[in-house]
Amino acid sequence: MSKIGTLKITIEFIFYWILINFLQEINVLRFYGEYTLKLCALYFLMQLLIGRYQGKVLLMYDEIRLLILSHLGFFFGSFLIFPFSSWTVRKIYGFLLLTLVLFVFAGCNSRYSHKIFRQRYKHNTLIVGTGHTAAQLAFVCRGNSYSLLDVQGYVSCKLYGIHQEQVVSKKQTIDLDAVDDFIRTHNIDTVLIAIPEINRKNLNRLFELFKGKVLNIKYLPQVTGLVTFDTKVEDFDGILMISNSRGVNQLGSYILKRCMDICAGLCGIIILIPLTVYVFFKNRMEGDRGPVFFTQNRIGKNGKEFKMYKYRTMVLGADKILEDLMASDPKIREEYQKNKKLANDPRITSAGHFLREKSLDEFPQFINVFFGQMSLIGPRPYLPKEKIDMGEYYEDVVACKPGITGMWQSHGRSDVSFEKRLILDEYYYRNWSFWLDVTLLCKTVKQVLYGRGAV
């Protein structure tokens, strides 16, 4: 158990006893004595078995996954604590309430304990490397509080004959011969080797250099994009093997995905009603008498076309205007042919700017999700005319239902080029899992709230 894990389990233990006693006082739950102790043991045993307090979680999405699994285990495990004859509808509702409250509190505890006590429990980190991988790794470390990795500097490996482009700060970069002093002066306890192209000889030399001087040494292997969200590293009798989620039978995950789509579709359609009223009156106030919705043929699963619903965010006759713009301005033509979008599109209405900024123009697609033509999470729904441009990515991309959101929307949205979108959508197909969907959903909500990368 990590130090911050000890803090979290202590806080949650105190809250558990306060909550369980409160629920019994107001007669929501009625049991005492050994059952209280058994439930307490079950709850924290589930948290420990799932690994919530081990300090290995590096991202918020990993923590959400552990929270869901541990609390589902607690809820269903509680049925084994009491005799089956003692269960009533009231008791089931009581345990459901108990589980939900514990889930919310544990989530808040995980998030804010990492933020509030970051300075106390952080890991002073040294990144070996100065290139793009090192810069990206540092960006991730700074961007999430769960890892508790605080990057103090970078190491150049020119002495080992490794020459990288200097992408990270030169002021924070040291040479290999200055490593010992830097570790002492900055209390470094974690080293991340971010040189994927490093050979075995130099990797062993780096391990020997840092061995005994820091607590943790980790490195990023060169696997040309095969390391995925749901990658499993397996020790095959001394041989390192990496497998991804596509090699696993995931019938249960597909059922969960469809259930999530149905629930999301129903909720989306309910929200769609007042939103449509708002858009209708907003357009009318601006003198726009055109239809609120429009449909467009898109490529669905296995290449079958379907009609996708969207809010109309462009002026009437937008296609003709685009043709005129492309004919009169070569730069606009080049930009549209490359990205299939215009960064500053003059055809978008003022109401459309707001809808696109918050991704609300996609809301009518919940109708498609409910009827199974789309999914909440999936590849981008491509236009039939883009099939040729999709090239070798086409077969993988259309193997999944297109989604309202997905890899490209949650990794930059409109800032991502057309080719990059295809790469991300192929990644999604090859590495799909239900937990990847949960992760992308959380990232999309964050993107929408902050409005980054939107049109």
Each residue of 62-89: pLDDT tens digit? 788 889 989 999 999 888 888 877 888 8
Work out the pLDDT band at 406, boundaries 50, 70, 90: confident
Report the share of the chain in percent with pLDDT over 90.
Answer: 17
pLDDT tens digits along 84-111: 778 888 888 888 999 999 999 998 998 8
Q: Is pLDDT above 90 for 380?
A: no
Report the share of the chain in percent with pLDDT over 70.
Answer: 85
Instruction: State whether 305 and 439 are in the same domain.
Output: yes
Short-list 105, 109, 101, 48, CA closest to 75: 101
Q: Say how far apart CA 425 and CA 407 lie, in whole Å.
A: 6
Q: Is pLDDT above 90 for 15?
A: yes
Segments in 155-250 forming alpha helices (H): 179-186, 200-210
End-to-end C-alpha distance for the chain, whole angstroms = 45
Instruction: State whether 403 and 292 are in the same domain.
Output: yes
Q: Is pLDDT above 70 for 453?
A: no
pLDDT tens digits along 38-64: 888 999 999 998 888 887 666 677 788
> Which string of DSSP letters, residue by residue, matches 121-138?
H-EEEEEE--SHHHHHHH
Q: For residue 328, tell me if it sits in a domain.
A: no
CA of 228: how far to CAs of 7, 74, 223, 433, in Å? Answer: 31, 29, 10, 10
Instruction: State whether 263 and 382 are in the same domain.
Output: yes
Q: For residue 183, tell me if it sits in a domain.
A: yes
Q: Is pLDDT above 80 for 154?
A: yes
3-state secondary structure of 328: helix
User: Structure tokens of 156?
Assistant: 């150049």
Please write down the HEC assignment for all residues of 257-297.
Answer: HHHHHHHHHHHHHHHHHHHHHHHHHHHHHCCCCCCCEEEEE
CA angle 4, 41, 435 (to 5 degrees): 60
Q: Say how far apart CA 166 and CA 130 lie, in whole Å.
A: 5
Residue 149, judged by CB atoms within 10 A of its CB (0-12, 13-18, 19+), counts as buried
Q: For residue 36, tell me if it sits in a domain.
A: yes
Instruction: State whether 284 and 369 are in the same domain.
Output: yes
Lowest mean pLDDT among 10-14, 333-337, 390-394: 333-337
Top pLDDT among 286 and 453 is at 286
Is pTM, for the whole model, over 0.75? no
User: pLDDT value at position 367?
Assistant: 93
Amino acid at the residue 135: A
CA angle 272, 274, 275 (to 5 degrees): 60
Work out the pLDDT band at 126, boundaries 50, 70, 90: very high
Work out the pLDDT band at 236, boundaries 50, 70, 90: very low
Domain boundary (70, 98, 118) is at 118
Instruction: State whether 172 and 198 are in the same domain.
Output: yes
Q: At 197, which CATH number?
A: 3.40.50.720
Would you give the DSSP letter of residue 82? S
CB 4 within 8 A of CB 55: yes
pLDDT tens digits along 133-148: 888 888 888 877 777 8
CB 10 within 8 A of CB 47: no
Q: How many domains are contained in the chain?
A: 3
Q: Is pLDDT above 70 for 398?
A: yes
Q: Say how far apart CA 106 and CA 50 lie, in whole Å.
A: 14
pLDDT tens digits along 242-259: 555 554 556 778 888 899
Instruction: State whether 14 and 29 are in the same domain.
Output: yes
Long-range pairs for 197-203: beta carbons < 8 A, 24 or more residues apart? 197/222, 198/157, 198/162, 198/222, 202/157, 202/160, 202/161, 202/162
Instruction: State whether 135 and 103 are in the same domain.
Output: no
3-state secondary structure of 55: coil
Q: For residue 404, tell me if it sits in a domain.
A: yes
Instruction: State whether 270 and 413 are in the same domain.
Output: yes
Q: Which residue range forms the structural domain that includes residue 127?
A: 122-222
Instruction: State whether 405 and 434 are in the same domain.
Output: yes
CB 57 within 8 A of CB 146: yes
